[in-house]
């Protein structure tokens, strides 16, 4: 694992200390790119994909350095899903056209909301706090709040699709 330590050393460098927490380049970059990614998703902008991939990479390094190997592995899954999602959103629709945003059932939303709240408040935030990754714990709490804001915005936007900057429309800025 010596090669891995050398590989992640530049972004594991401590930038500043908050209390007992040593905030590294990877943690600060993960905080910034994570917040930006979720906000871009809330705004239904296709740029959430590349920003999300950067976020996954920073958190992969952060979690490796912290010895959170399962969380590191999860970031690899997120990287793969991000690439696949980005490709599908651009070319995965009918006749290889862009996908349009759709709707979930009330049951699907309820189950998803319960799982997200349980996983975030019950597992993720406390774990990162205990591992002295409090900035990361804070950003996960912010993610949760932004998810509810995003739900409200997407719900309103789907009621007036002509005014929705939706993912399908926001892709034009990157093409």
Longest CA–CA span in the chain (Å) reads 55
pLDDT in tens, 11-41: 677 777 878 778 888 889 999 999 999 889 8
pTM over 0.75: no
Containing H/E element for 16? strand 14-18
Task: Give residue-wise pLDDT tens across range 114-151.
Answer: 888 887 777 888 888 888 888 888 888 888 888 888 88
Higher-confidence residue: 1 or 127? Answer: 127
What is the model's pLDDT at position 102? 67
Query: Residue 4: what pLDDT?
Result: 66
Task: Give residue-wise pLDDT tens across range 79-113.
Answer: 999 999 888 888 776 777 666 666 778 788 888 88
Give the model's confidence band at 168: pLDDT under 50 very low, under 70 low, under 90 confident, else very high: very low
Give 113-150 as a 3 state SS string.
Answer: HHHHHHHHHHHHHHHHHHCCCHHHHHHHHHHHHHHHHH
CA dihedral 62→77→136→131, nearest 10 degrees, is: -60
């Amino acid at each position: 694992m010596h090669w891995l330590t050398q590989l992640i050393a530049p972004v594991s460098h401590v930038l500043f200390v908050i209390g007992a927490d040593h905030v590294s380049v990877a943690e600060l970059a993960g905080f910034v790119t994570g917040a930006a990614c979720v906000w871009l998703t809330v705004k239904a902008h296709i740029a959430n994909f590349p920003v999300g991939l950067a976020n996954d990479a920073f958190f992969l390094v952060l979690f490796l350095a912290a010895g959170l190997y399962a969380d590191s592995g999860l970031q690899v899954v997120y990287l793969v899903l991000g690439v696949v999602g980005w490709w599908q959103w651009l070319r995965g629709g009918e006749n290889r056209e862009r996908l349009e945003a759709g709707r979930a059932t009330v049951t699907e939303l309820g189950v998803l909301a319960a799982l997200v709240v349980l996983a975030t408040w019950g597992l993720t935030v406390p774990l990162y706090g205990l591992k002295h990754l409090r900035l990361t714990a804070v950003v996960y709490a912010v993610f949760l709040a932004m998810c509810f804001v995003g739900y409200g915005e997407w719900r309103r936007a789907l009621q007036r699709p002509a005014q929705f900057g939706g993912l399908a429309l926001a892709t034009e800025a990157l093409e």
